Structure 1
Amino acid sequence: MKILHIINSLDTGGAEKLILETLPLLNKKNVKTDLAVLNGYEYPFLKALKKLNCCKVISLGNKSVYNPLLIFKIIPLLKHYDLVHVHIFPSLYWVALAKIISFSKTKLVYTEHSTSNNRRKKYIFKIIDKIIYSFYSKIITISLEVDYNIKSHLGFKNERFVLIKNGINLETIKNSDPIARNEISSNLNDSFSIVTQVSSFRYPKDQKTVIKSLKKLEDNVVLVLVGDGPLRDECEDLAKEIGVAHKVFFLGIRMDVIGILKASNIIILSSHHEGLSLSCVEGMASGKAFIASDAPGLGDIVRDAGILFPIDDDDSLAKEINKLLSDKLHYSEVVVNCLNRAEDYSIKNTINKEINLYKSLLENEIFIQTR
C-alpha cells in the first residue's frame, strides 16, 4: 500500500501540523506514505518533517499554489501511488482535475478541515464543488460541525463521508517541559501572568479580540502570540493604537510551542470559526486552563471542559481571564476537565481510522477487479 499526501505547503496551520504528526506514524506502521507540496518553501514544519527522514518529500515548485499548471506536475505522481490523500483548497481542485485529464484510476481521498469557506457563499462554486468532490472516493470530515456543513453544501449520500477526528500526540505533550520564560522574552519572569494564543494571523483567528481584552486586565497580565500571517501587522498596529504594545509579545513561528504553552498561565483560542483545531486540543492537553470563543468547530470541543466566551466579546474574555487568575479552585477544575477532554483526541485513533479507510478502499478495488 503506497499513499501520497498532497497539500499546498507545510506553512503553519492545523492541516499542516496534522501532516507533520501523522506521516511519521503511518510509516512506522508500514504504510508507505510520502508527501507532495505545491509550494516547497522551507517552512519550519517542512524542515522538521525532512529532518525526521521518514518519507519522501516532493516539491512541485516554489511559486503560487493557485497556478493551474500544477495539474500537469501532479499527473505523473498519480501512477506511482495506490491512493492519494489530499488536503486544503486549491490542492482539492488540482488533484481532481489531474485525475480527470489523465484518466487515472488512482483512488482519491480528501480531508475537509474547515467548517466554512468563501466558495460556499457563491452559487457557481457550489456547482463546481459538486463536480470536483465527486472524484473523491471518500471525504473525511474532522468534526461534527465540519461533517454537517460539507454534507449540506454538497448534498452527497452519507456513505461518501467518514468522520475521523484530528488527533495530537498526547505522550509528547505529557513528556514535554516548560521552557524558561526568558526564552519567550528577556522581559518575562514569574511575576507575570502569561496568556498565550497559537494561530496564524488570518481573519478566522481573531487575535484582535484578545489584544483588546488587555485593556481590562492588570498590568502584569501579558499576551504571547505565536504564529505569522498577513494580519500580523494589523494586530501590531492595534496593540500600539490602544496602548498595550508593551504587553503583547509577537513570537512568529516557533517549533517549541508545547514548551511555550507549559510556561504560560492561560491558553486562548479566539476564532470566528474552526474545523477541528489542533491548537485547541494542544491547549487543553497542556495542563493549563483553556479559553476559546464559542465558535463553530470550537464550542463542541471545549464545552463542559474549558471556558467559552462569545465571539468578538473582549469584555467577556477579560472577565473569564480575571476569574481564572483570581480563583485557584476554579482554575484547577478547568485544567482537570481540559486534560480529560484532550484524551478523546489521541493521534493513535486518527492513524488507525485512516489506515482502516485506506485498506477498505483498496481492498474494495481489488475485489471489483477480480470479479
Structure 2
Amino acid sequence: MLRVLHVVTDMNRGGLETMIMNYYRKIDREKIQFDFLVHRKHRASYDDEIESYGGKIYRLSRLIPWSKKYLNTLDDFFKEHGEYKIVHVHQDCLSGVILKVAEKNGVPVRIAHSHASSQDKNLKYLIKLWHKRYIPTCATDLFACGKEAGDWMFSGADYKIIKNAISAKDYVFDIGKREKIRKELNLGTSFTLGLTARFSWAKNHYFLLEIFSEVLKMEPSAKLLLVGDGDLRENIEAKINELRLTGHVIMTGIRSDVQYLLQAMDVFVMPSNYEGLGVAAVEAQAAGLPCFLSEKVPIACKMTDSVYYISLSEPAKIWARQILSVKGKERKNTYQEIKDADYDIDENAQKLQMFYVKRMEENHEMN
C-alpha cells in the first residue's frame, strides 16, 4: 500500500480540508492511504473519520518558518518516517518550508498545493510572500484548485489543476429535507440567506452583514444562516450587535451536515475578498441555490445559470436588491450540470489516484 502524507494546519471543516476528505473517501484505500501531519495539538473535526479509515495523524507545533526548534523537529520527523515517498503539502505560501526539509531527507515526490489566490493582509503577509518565491525550487509537482490560485502562488511555473470536487449527489435539492431542516432551525417561511465559510477576513462576513442589514429593510422577516467558525467569531458577533441583527442571524458553528443546511437556504451569498476557487459555492450550486458571488471568486466557479457576480465596489444596498430579485425562484436539480463541469468527486478521485501511482512508478524507474 502507498501511504501519502498530507501536511495541513489541522483537519477542521474548512474548504481545503473538506476537499481532501472528499478525495480520501473515494480513493481505493486498499491501494492508497492518506496520513496527516498537522500543526495543532488539539483534535479536529475530521480526526475521527480519518482514523476510522486507517489514517495516521502526527502532530507538530505551529509552523514558524524561522524557528530552529520547529525546523529541527520537522527534520527529525522525516528522518524517523522514511516510509513516506509522497508528501502533499497544503500550507500555501509556507509550503516550501515543509518541502525543503522533505527534499533534504530524500522524499522523492513533493507536492505543493495552492488553495488561494491571495493571503490575508496581516503582519505575516510579507513573510509569506518571501517564502512563496521558493516553492517551485523544492517541489517536484505543483497543484492548484484553479487558475487564479496557481498563477498567484507559483509565479509562472507549470502547475496541474486539481478540482475541488464534491459528491454532487449528496447535495441534490430535496423538498422533504428542506422542510425538515427549516423546522429544526425555526426558519418558518422566512427568506433565508446563507454562507458556509470559515470566519476569516477572506470570506468578508462584515460586508455580508451589511448586505443583510439592507435586505432586512426590504424584507423584515428575513434570516441569515452562518455556518462555520473561526478566529473572527467574536468580531462578527460584535458586528451583529452593532447592526442590531440579533434574532435574525443564526450561527450554527461547525457542522457535519452542510449538504442539509444548504437545503434550508433560499440564496447563497459569498462576498469574498479573495478565493482560490470557492468550493462552498460549488456545493451551493449543487444544492440548486441562486448564488451571489463577489468578483474575487473565480469565474471558473460558475457552473449553473443561477450564479450572479457583483463587484465589491457596489454598495450593500445594490447587493440586497439583486438578492431579493430572485425571491420565490424555483429550485432545480443541478446534478448533471455539476457532473458536466467535471466537479463530481468519483472521476476526480480516480485521476488523483492514478497520478500518485504514476509518479511512484516513474520514481522507481529512475532509481
Instruction: After TM superposition, list the pairs within 5 Å mapping 1:247-326 onto structure 2.
Output: 247-297=248-298, 299-302=299-302, 304-311=305-312, 313-325=315-327
**Distance in 2 between residues matched to 1:40 and 1:23, nearest whole Å:** 22
Cα deviation for residue 208 of structure 1 reads: 1.4
Helix, strand or coil for the counterpart of 2:74? helix
Number of equivalenced pairs: 351
The answer to whether 1:25 aligns with 2:26 is yes
Change (3 A) 1:224 1:79: same
Residue of 336, 340, 362 corresponding to 2:337: 340
**C-alpha contact 1:78 1:106 (8 A) present in aligned 2:** no
* Segment drifting more, 7-16 vs 125-134: 125-134
Cα deviation for residue 262 of structure 1 reads: 0.5
Residue of 105, 108, 116 corresponding to 1:106: 108
Instruction: After TM superposition, list the pairs within 5 Å mapping 1:72-221 onto structure 2.
Output: 72-76=75-79, 78-89=81-92, 92-102=95-105, 104-117=106-119, 128-151=131-154, 153=155, 155-156=156-157, 158=158, 161-174=159-172, 177-178=177-178, 179-184=180-185, 188-217=186-215, 218-221=219-222
**Distance in 2 between residues matched to 1:91 and 1:124, nearest whole Å:** 9
Helix, strand or coil for the counterpart of 2:31? coil
**C-alpha contact 1:226 1:254 (8 A) present in aligned 2:** yes
- Gapped regions of structure 1 (runs ≥ 5): none
Greater helix proportion: 1
* Segment drifting more, 356-365 vs 258-267: 356-365
**C-alpha contact 1:291 1:308 (8 A) present in aligned 2:** yes
The answer to whether 1:59 aligns with 2:62 is no
Cα deviation for residue 261 of structure 1 reads: 0.7
**C-alpha contact 1:36 1:58 (8 A) present in aligned 2:** yes
Change (3 A) 1:32 1:263: same
Cα deviation for residue 348 of structure 1 reads: 2.1
Change (3 A) 1:197 1:113: same
**C-alpha contact 1:4 1:36 (8 A) present in aligned 2:** yes
The alignment's TM-score, normalised by the length of structure 1, stands at: 0.84
**Distance in 2 between residues matched to 1:90 and 1:77, nearest whole Å:** 26
| Counterpart code for 1:46 | D
* Segment drifting more, 171-180 vs 34-43: 171-180
Change (3 A) 1:126 1:230: closer
**C-alpha contact 1:8 1:91 (8 A) present in aligned 2:** no
**C-alpha contact 2:96 2:131 (8 A) present in aligned 1:** no
| Counterpart code for 1:109 | I
**C-alpha contact 2:262 2:284 (8 A) present in aligned 1:** yes
Change (3 A) 1:302 1:90: closer
The alignment's TM-score, normalised by the length of structure 2, stands at: 0.85
Helix, strand or coil for the counterpart of 2:337? helix
Q: What is residue 366 of structure 1 aligned with on the other side? A: 364
**Distance in 2 between residues matched to 1:364 and 1:10, nearest whole Å:** 30
Helix, strand or coil for the counterpart of 2:309? strand
Cα deviation for residue 23 of structure 1 reads: 1.5
- Gapped regions of structure 2 (runs ≥ 5): none
